[in-house]
């Protein structure tokens, strides 16, 4: 008998997400220090040397989002990070030109002074915390000292994200190792499909109101979509010919197996209460569902299929079509996009996400060159 697995839908802000925690913290700060108009965190991705905007709480309606730069290209922050120093800027308008993107954005929204704190865990850079004010000189005097308690609280919130990321990275490593041993799907398939996932998510972010935090988790989690295949016997997984009906049912069980596996691992790691876990469960549990209800295992329809699963499905199908498999030649990008277009017209795939992928075929080709297409 198949075990029942329930699916959670994230509310608009992802439940108790880091964004929500930041808004709460910002409200506390403003209560005592009304001149602090914005708090933002940029996370440092050590593996790629990238600085990424992540969460923020501010009094403007168009937050700086989807900003991504190598830390080496932002020398002022790179210097703070290496010296373990904080920085107060009394008047942003007095900074020598040329201004970086972040400074230009702040000046354009009327912010005048800032306080920047690099965040570390055991000497490793986690990211930067920014406090900004519309008042010049707002961070002169005692204020930076008074903000230390909030700095520590933000650091703890960020650490939570990192701990989950590390647990997931461990699982991705396991998934890759198994892929290699059992020929499930190659590591390069996982690299390509998760890169497509991010491309699509960034392009539909405005339309579906997806924030940076959601997109980063989607990118991080998507390589785990087929983790449940570790529980499928080789005789079915590696069978060269067509599967019989009972075999197909057994193969389809990889979805529920995957959700169960994730729940068990997260329970072990003490990470069950993490809000982002819903994104991971939804990806694993929903990546074979189709909008018209013809997918599996639940035959969910339309909005019952979470956004994260819809995006992963499209990236996964696109890569399966364009990659070479023992039983088929690789399709060209145009052929694969035409097939996705057909499936979206038939009401099976999200039309916005399919057009998003089609609109950045240059980047798609770059990803294919980077992570060779022979798998």
Q: Can you say how many angstroms the Cα of residue 339 is from the centroid of all Cα atoms in its chain?
A: 26
Minimum distance from residue 284 beta carbon to Fe ion (Å): 8
316 lies in the binding site for Fe ion (CB under 5 A):
yes
Question: Do the Cβ atoms of 62 and 55 come closer than 8 Å?
Answer: no
The DSSP line for 113-179 is EEEEEEEEETTEEEEEEEEEESSTTTTSTTHHHHTHHHHHHHHHHHHHHHHHHHHHHHHHHHHHHHH
Minimum distance from residue 69 beta carbon to Fe ion (Å): 30
At a CB cut-off of 8 Å and minimum separation 6, what does 166 contact? none
Let me know if 52 is a catalytic residue.
Answer: no
Minimum distance from residue 287 beta carbon to Fe ion (Å): 6
Nearer to Fe ion, 226 or 308 (CB): 226
CA-atom Rg of the chain in angstroms: 23
Candidates 52-60, 226-234, 330-338, 344-352 — which segment interacts with Fe ion by CB under 5 A? 226-234
Nearer to Fe ion, 211 or 316 (CB): 316
For residue 9, how many other CB atoms are within 10 A of its CB? 12
Q: Omega of the bond prior to 98 within 30 degrees of 0, cis?
A: yes
Candidates 34-42, 57-65, 224-232, 325-333 — which segment interacts with Fe ion by CB under 5 A? 224-232
Alpha helices in 33-109 (DSSP H): 75-83, 101-108
226 lies in the binding site for Fe ion (CB under 5 A):
yes
How many residues sit in the footprint of Fe ion (CB under 5 A)?
A: 2
Nearer to Fe ion, 54 or 196 (CB): 196
- The active-site residue, picked from 229, 239, 260, 328, is 229
Nearer to Fe ion, 73 or 234 (CB): 234
Minimum distance from residue 297 beta carbon to Fe ion (Å): 10
Candidates 8-16, 69-77, 194-202, 311-319 — which segment interacts with Fe ion by CB under 5 A? 311-319
Site residues for Fe ion per CB under 5 A: 226, 316
List, by residue number, the catalytic residues: 229
């Amino acid at each position: 008998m198949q075990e029942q697995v329930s699916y959670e839908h994230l509310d608009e802000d992802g439940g108790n997400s880091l964004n929500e925690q930041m808004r709460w913290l910002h409200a506390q700060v403003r209560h005592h220090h009304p001149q602090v108009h914005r708090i933002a965190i940029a996370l440092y991705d050590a593996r790629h040397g990238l600085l990424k905007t992540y969460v923020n709480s501010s009094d403007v309606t168009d937050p700086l989002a989807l900003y991504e730069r190598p830390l080496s290209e932002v020398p002022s922050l790179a210097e703070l990070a290496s010296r373990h120093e904080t920085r107060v800027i009394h008047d942003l308008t007095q900074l020598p030109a040329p201004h970086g993107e972040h400074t230009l954005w702040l000046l354009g929204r009327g912010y005048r002074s800032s306080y920047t704190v690099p965040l570390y865990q055991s000497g490793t850079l986690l990211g930067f915390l920014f406090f900004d004010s519309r008042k010049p000189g707002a961070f002169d005097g005692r204020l930076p000292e008074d903000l230390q308690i909030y700095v520590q609280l933000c650091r703890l919130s960020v650490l939570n994200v990192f701990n989950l990321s590390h647990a997931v990275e461990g699982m991705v490593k396991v998934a890759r190792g198994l892929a290699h041993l059992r020929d499930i799907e190659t590591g390069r398939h996982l690299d390509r499909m998760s890169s497509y996932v991010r491309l699509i998510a960034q392009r539909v972010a405005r339309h579906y109101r997806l924030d940076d935090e959601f997109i980063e988790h989607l990118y991080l989690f998507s390589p785990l979509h087929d983790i449940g295949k570790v529980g499928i016997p080789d005789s079915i997984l590696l069978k060269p010919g067509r599967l019989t009906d009972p075999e197909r049912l057994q193969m389809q069980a990889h979805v529920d197996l995957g959700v169960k596996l994730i729940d068990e691992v997260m329970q072990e790691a003490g990470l069950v209460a993490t809000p982002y876990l819903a994104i991971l469960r939804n990806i694993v549990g929903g990546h074979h569902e189709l909008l018209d209800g013809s997918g599996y295992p639940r035959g969910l329809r339309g909005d019952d299929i979470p956004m994260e699963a819809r995006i992963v499905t499209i990236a996964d199908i696109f890569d399966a079509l364009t990659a070479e498999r023992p039983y088929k030649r690789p399709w060209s990008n145009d052929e694969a996009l035409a097939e996705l277009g057909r499936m979206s017209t038939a009401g099976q795939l999200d039309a916005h996400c399919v057009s998003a992928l089609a609109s950045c075929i240059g980047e798609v080709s770059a990803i294919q060159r980077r992570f060779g297409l022979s798998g």
